[in-house]
Amino acid sequence: MQLKQIKMAQVKVGDSVKVHYTGKLTNGEQFDSSEGREPLEFTVGAGQMIKGFDAALPGMKVGDKKTVNIPASEAYGEKDEAAIIEFPKANIPKDLNLEPGMQLTLSNAEGQPIPVTVTELKDDVVVLDANHFLAGKELVFDIELVHIG
């Protein structure tokens, strides 16, 4: 009797994959998960995911699970001070009751939406932060590879 070695497929750059994931901050606070949803599908190395998440997949096999810590530089980048702006209160509709933490959407000169967060209310201006809400943060992802192909 001869045993055949079955080689399990491993993820490589360019593969289409499906994963289940849970994203957390280093303090354990969860910010996203695929739990209760279809697995996330993307092409490894195509720039569809943050760098650190993409880099964690090559070499994984279907059924593999791993936890990866991703520094801010490999996630949503460091906070950009230039993305924090003071917006004149005079340009804000009077009926809009702003509070710190509130999410708003501005439009740039081309009409593209820019999500911002109200961070501070001053006398004449509102301080808005256009950084991604995870910018400057180290992220922890639990990843389970469910499909290659």
**Structure confidence at residue 2 (pLDDT):** 61
The answer to whether residue 48 is domain-embedded is yes
**Structure confidence at residue 119 (pLDDT):** 95
The answer to whether residue 104 is domain-embedded is yes
Q: The whole model's pTM is what?
A: 0.80
**Structure confidence at residue 106 (pLDDT):** 85
**Structure confidence at residue 43 (pLDDT):** 97
Retrieve residue 62's tokens: 């279907």
Distance CA 87, CA 98 (A): 12
Question: Measuring CA to CA, which residue among 110, 108, 104 is closest to residue 129?
Answer: 104
Percent of the chain with pLDDT strictly greater than 90: 83
The answer to whether residue 62 is domain-embedded is yes
CATH number of residue 89's parent domain: 2.40.10.330
Please say if the pLDDT value at position 8 is more than 80. Answer: no
| Same domain as 119, residue 93 | yes
Beta strand segments in 34-136, E: 40-43, 65-70, 84-88, 103-107, 113-121, 125-129
| Same domain as 38, residue 22 | yes
| Same domain as 89, residue 73 | no
What range defines the domain where residue 21 resides? 16-77+134-148
Please say if the pLDDT value at position 100 is more than 70. Answer: yes
Total of domains in the chain: 2
CA 60 to chain CA centroid, Å, is 21
The answer to whether residue 3 is domain-embedded is no
| Same domain as 58, residue 46 | yes
**Structure confidence at residue 1 (pLDDT):** 59
CATH number of residue 52's parent domain: 3.10.50.40
Mean pLDDT, the chain, whole residue set: 93
